[in-house]
């Protein structure tokens, strides 16, 4: 290569080395390890990009920790022929006592303005205790030819290695990329296996961390695993797709030029773009079955650590009006899978399946609260609500626990609301008795005094017309009274009721599934001449075969759920509908 061409190439190269003004400054902080023992040290690496100079405090004030600045380095990188400079500042952290420590954002003075890093959390355990959730450096391979660590790798950190069936196990998927690598990563990793389920991974803010003496950028994803069976379960590798700009070699023909300038090749000037799949290490879990000894009868599958609160409103209701008993279970565990608490001392109350709502405090639905709303209607006058009992399994103590809330004082009148009309009843307005508007004496004027001619009253046309009208009114009134008296006769009333029942039973055949239960329970209430609220008690006193009794119990239960339960009634299937119609037909016949 002749000298003029070399000069031109070098001028162009030096022009490319100008820092890009478009690069915005940012500062990030990362710990070399998320947990250490008392007396040990870790490192905080503060990386400031987009600047050639930066100032930070010489020490950080965190009670229980000694944090001192002891190192500083600078470098520049080139990506797509765009040069960026960065500064790395290193703090040494020494733990004096055990606990969890929040390290606040570190202020960085650069370019006449102040920017702050992300906060950090360090867990310090006693000197003899094992370190939780720390990636093992001994499992990382190191290139023998370069003496440097891997350019990228993945790791799976489990909160525990032994758990119970149904227990939620928080986990973290971590993907490490050496800081001299650029690129893009996928939205979330893919993990599929047998014997467990996994929450949708949620990405955490990226951070920097030192592993084997190398500075890495870490992308982490929070998730949770739940085992579906006991025994040893294998967790396969979780794969994250990424497109990376990996360091490349100097193109052929340019080696001599860089040798003439000391062999210096700017980091990132020559890169190779590669699509890669980074995998975590496989892991295994030992899953134990839930113990049978000491298991409460009302245990509904809750596993974790929980607390319970209960409130009622309104505290005073009239007959037939519901009271809402709101029960909140909060803590950590399988919030989505656990069942409802149990109502105790509920005699005299009618309760219905509760509505449920979940409020979570984290992305993996491990911590939060679940609220149940019971609707209660007093059968008899009550002065307190039922007590509430909730049982769960505590995996930390390997035992079952039961939480109890005492009844709440209320005033609830028993029975059906007075304002509620009984199905089938109709109001009949009284028929007013007819009263003549004028008497015969007032309707016929007396002949004028001194008249020389007069006719007898019985042949007077006006008198005869008035009498005919009064007679017609009397006949109509007599007919109405007779019809009313006839309708009050027991036999006639029975026939009318039978015809009405026949019509309502025939209408059931064409009623939709959505309206069937309401129409059928009204038909049953009219058949037995009772209020709907008393159907359950009447059902137990009527002689029926077992099949018909079960079918009608299902009808009454569905109707009550539709009336009071916040979740509404369950959809009725054709088989259940046929059983109910058959039982009603036997009653009808």
Least confident of 364-368, 415-419, 449-453: 449-453
Q: What is the pLDDT of residue 588?
A: 66
The highest-confidence range among 4-18, 141-155, 336-350, 429-443, by mean pLDDT, is 336-350
- The answer on 285 and 153 residing in a single domain is yes
- The answer on 222 and 166 residing in a single domain is yes
Asked whether residue 375 carries a pLDDT value surpassing 80, the answer given is yes
Q: Does residue 56 lie in a domain region?
A: yes
Residues 6+ apart with CB under 8 A from 195: 227, 228, 229, 231, 233, 234, 287
Give the mean pLDDT of 409-433: 57
CA 538 to chain centroid, in Å, comes to 40
**φ, ψ for residue 205 (rounded to 5)?**
-60, 140
Least confident of 280-289, 426-435, 469-478: 426-435
- The answer on 463 and 371 residing in a single domain is no
Residue corresponding to tokens 């039922």: 386
- The answer on 466 and 408 residing in a single domain is no
Asked whether residue 83 carries a pLDDT value surpassing 60, the answer given is no
Q: What is the pLDDT of residue 439?
A: 42
Residue range 246-255, pLDDT digits in tens: 776 555 555 5
Q: What is the pLDDT of residue 57?
A: 92
- The answer on 553 and 519 residing in a single domain is yes
Q: Of 244, 273, 289, which marks where a domain is finished?
A: 289
Give the mean pLDDT of 287-297: 93
Give the mean pLDDT of 348-374: 91
Q: Does residue 327 lie in a domain region?
A: yes
- The domain that holds 121 is classified in CATH as 2.60.40.10
- The answer on 329 and 250 residing in a single domain is no
Q: For the chain, what percent of residues have pLDDT higher than 90?
A: 31
Rounded-to-integer distance, Cα 477 and Cα 303, Å: 77
Q: Does residue 496 lie in a domain region?
A: yes
- The answer on 113 and 54 residing in a single domain is yes
Mean pLDDT value across the chain? 78
Q: What is the pLDDT of residue 235?
A: 94
Give the mean pLDDT of 44-71: 87
- The answer on 495 and 482 residing in a single domain is no
Residue range 293-310, pLDDT digits in tens: 999 988 989 999 999 999
Residue corresponding to tokens 């052929």: 252
Q: Of 355, 378, 412, which marks where a domain is finished?
A: 412
400 close to 393: Cβ distance less than 8 angstroms: yes
| Cα 133–Cα 137–Cα 140 angle in degrees, nearest 5 | 120
Strands 239-247 and 271-279 come out as: antiparallel
Asked whether residue 126 carries a pLDDT value surpassing 60, the answer given is yes
Q: How confident is the model at residue 81 (pLDDT cuts 50, 70, 90)?
A: very low
Q: Does residue 298 lie in a domain region?
A: yes
| Cα 464–Cα 469–Cα 471 angle in degrees, nearest 5 | 95
- The domain that holds 388 is classified in CATH as 2.60.40
Give the mean pLDDT of 258-276: 61
Q: How confident is the model at residue 529 (pLDDT cuts 50, 70, 90)?
A: confident
- The answer on 191 and 59 residing in a single domain is no
Asked whether residue 374 carries a pLDDT value surpassing 90, the answer given is yes
Q: Does residue 24 lie in a domain region?
A: yes
pTM confidence score? 0.57
Rounded-to-integer distance, Cα 353 and Cα 376, Å: 10
Q: Of 238, 271, 289, which marks where a domain is finished?
A: 289
Strands 113-116 and 304-313 come out as: unpaired
Q: What is the pLDDT of residue 253?
A: 56
- The answer on 372 and 300 residing in a single domain is yes
Q: How confident is the model at residue 162 (pLDDT cuts 50, 70, 90)?
A: very high
- Kind and range of the H or E element at 538? helix 535-541
Residues 6+ apart with CB under 8 A from 586: 548
- The answer on 275 and 311 residing in a single domain is no
Q: How many domains, the chain?
A: 5
- The answer on 468 and 578 residing in a single domain is no
Asked whether residue 585 carries a pLDDT value surpassing 80, the answer given is yes
Q: Does residue 143 lie in a domain region?
A: no
* Domain span holding position 328: 293-412
Residue corresponding to tokens 């007077």: 460
Strand order in the sheet with 239-247: 182-185, 239-247, 271-279
Give the mean pLDDT of 532-558: 82
Q: Does residue 7 lie in a domain region?
A: no
Asked whether residue 446 carries a pLDDT value surpassing 80, the answer given is no
Least confident of 337-351, 429-443, 498-512, 559-573: 429-443
523 close to 501: Cβ distance less than 8 angstroms: yes
Q: Does residue 107 lie in a domain region?
A: yes
Q: What is the pLDDT of residue 137?
A: 37
Residues 6+ apart with CB under 8 A from 406: 387
């Amino acid at each position: 290569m002749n000298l003029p061409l070399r000069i031109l190439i070098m001028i162009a190269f030096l022009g490319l080395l100008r820092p890009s003004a478009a690069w915005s400054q940012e500062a990030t902080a990362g710990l070399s390890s998320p947990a250490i023992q008392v007396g040990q040290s870790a490192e905080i690496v503060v990386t400031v990009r987009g600047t050639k100079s930066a100032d930070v405090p010489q020490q950080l004030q965190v009670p229980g920790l000694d944090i001192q600045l002891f190192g500083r380095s600078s470098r520049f990188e080139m990506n797509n022929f765009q040069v960026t400079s960065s500064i790395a500042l290193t703090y040494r952290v020494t733990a004096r006592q055990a606990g969890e420590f929040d390290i606040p954002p570190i202020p960085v003075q650069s370019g006449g303005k102040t920017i702050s890093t992300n906060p950090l959390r360090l867990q310090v355990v006693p000197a003899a205790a094992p370190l939780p959730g720390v990636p093992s450096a001994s499992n990382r391979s190191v290139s023998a030819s370069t003496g440097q660590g891997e350019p990228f790798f993945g790791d799976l950190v489990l909160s525990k290695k032994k758990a119970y069936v149904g227990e939620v196990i928080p986990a973290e998927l971590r993907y490490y990329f050496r800081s001299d690598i650029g690129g893009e990563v996928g939205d979330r990793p893919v993990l599929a296996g047998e014997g467990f389920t996994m929450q949708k991974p949620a990405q955490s803010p990226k951070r920097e961390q030192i592993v084997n003496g190398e500075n890495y950028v870490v992308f982490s994803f929070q998730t949770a695993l739940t085992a579906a069976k006991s025994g040893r379960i294998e967790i396969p590798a979780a794969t994250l797709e990424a497109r990376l700009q990996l360091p490349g070699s100097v193109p052929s023909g340019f080696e001599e030029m860089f040798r003439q300038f000391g062999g210096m090749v700017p980091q990132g000037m020559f890169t190779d773009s590669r699509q890669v799949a980074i995998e975590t290490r496989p892991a295994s879990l030992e899953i134990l079955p839930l113990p049978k000894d000491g298991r409460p009868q009302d245990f509904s599958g809750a596993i974790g650590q929980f607390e319970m609160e209960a409130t009622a409103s309104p505290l005073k209701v009239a007959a037939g009006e519901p009271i809402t008993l709101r029960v909140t279970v909060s803590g950590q565990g399988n919030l989505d899978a656990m069942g409802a608490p149990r109502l105790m001392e509920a005699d005299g109350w009618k309760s219905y399946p509760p509505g449920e709502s979940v409020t979570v405090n984290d992305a993996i639905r491990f911590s939060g609260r679940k609220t149940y709303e019971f609707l209660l209607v007093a059968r008899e006058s009550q002065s307190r609500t039922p007590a509430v009992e909730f049982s769960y399994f505590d995996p930390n103590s390997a035992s079952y626990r039961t939480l109890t809330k005492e009844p709440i004082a209320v005033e609830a009148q028993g029975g059906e609301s007075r304002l509620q009309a009984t199905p089938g009843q109709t109001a009949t307005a009284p028929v007013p008795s007819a009263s003549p508007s004028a008497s015969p004496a007032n309707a016929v004027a007396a002949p004028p005094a001194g008249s020389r001619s007069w006719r007898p009253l019985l042949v007077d046309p006006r008198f005869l017309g008035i009498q005919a009208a009064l007679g017609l009114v009397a006949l109509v009134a007599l007919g109405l009274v007779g019809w009313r008296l006839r309708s009050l006769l027991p036999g006639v009333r029975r026939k009318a009721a039978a015809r009405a029942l026949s019509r309502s039973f025939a209408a059931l055949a064409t009623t939709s599934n959505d309206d069937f239960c309401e129409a059928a329970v009204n038909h049953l209430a009219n058949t037995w001449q009772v209020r709907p609220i008393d159907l359950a008690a009447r059902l137990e006193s009527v002689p029926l075969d077992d099949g018909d009794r079960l079918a009608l119990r299902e009808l009454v239960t569905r109707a009550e759920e539709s009336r009071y339960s916040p979740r509404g009634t369950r959809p009725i299937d054709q088989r259940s509908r046929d059983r109910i119609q058959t039982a009603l037909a036997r009653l009808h016949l």
